[in-house]
Amino acid sequence: MPVEMVCNAFDISRSSYYEYRQRRKHVDVERLALKAQVNRLFTKSRSSAGSRTIKGMLNDDGVVIGRFKVRRLMSELGLICKQPGPHAYKQATVERPDIPNHLAREFTVDRPNQAWCGDITYVWSGQRWSYLAVVLDLYARRVVGWAMSSSPDADLVVKALDHSWEQRGQPEKVMFHSDSNTVSAGYF
């Protein structure tokens, strides 16, 4: 079938057809290299870097490129950045009746190592959430021990209490209080 007939059928000019054929033969090696770099940096960021961040990373590597070109390359590669959403923190809905409250909100104590309190919180550490368990002496009103972990489990709490116990000279008969949230109630 002649080219002219096909072009007329689809209402395109012959010059457009021939330009398209030429373009298909030409491979833009520089663009392919840029795409590979963008893909590598995106993967390195664990899918969190957007066009601005990747542009900055490329500029740091000595590549002169604009944000919109990076955005276009990301679009061609099908790369969509994911930003970390809000941390799903499980709140306690009921108090724990099986854990007695000996302190009864009386946070005034007479001497060091009489009563400690503690809690667990989460901290964004750049790549992921980390959990921090802290133990405070209610008399001194200062941190006496702490520990960090990638999960809020019994090991984290035991490490924080062990650290406190060692730091304070292995005291005896220390009352420990924590709130009754689901993260720490079963551990502290």
How sure is the predictor about 180, in pLDDT bands with cuts at 50, 70 and 90? low
User: How do residues 96-109 score in pLDDT, each as one tens digit?
Assistant: 565 666 565 666 77
As given in the structure block, the two tokens for residue 112 are: 């060091």
- Give me the residues paired with residue 115 across strands: 175
What's the rounded mean pLDDT across residues 44-72? 93
For residue 65, pLDDT over 50 is answered with: yes
* Every domain of the chain and the residues it spans: 3-77, 115-178
**Res 175 pLDDT > 80:** no
Residues 6+ apart with CB under 8 A from 130: 122, 123, 124, 148, 149, 150
pTM confidence score:
0.46
Q: Is residue 132 within a helix (H) or strand (E), and if so which, with residue range?
A: strand 129-137
- pLDDT tens for each residue of 24-52: 666 788 999 999 999 999 999 888 899 99
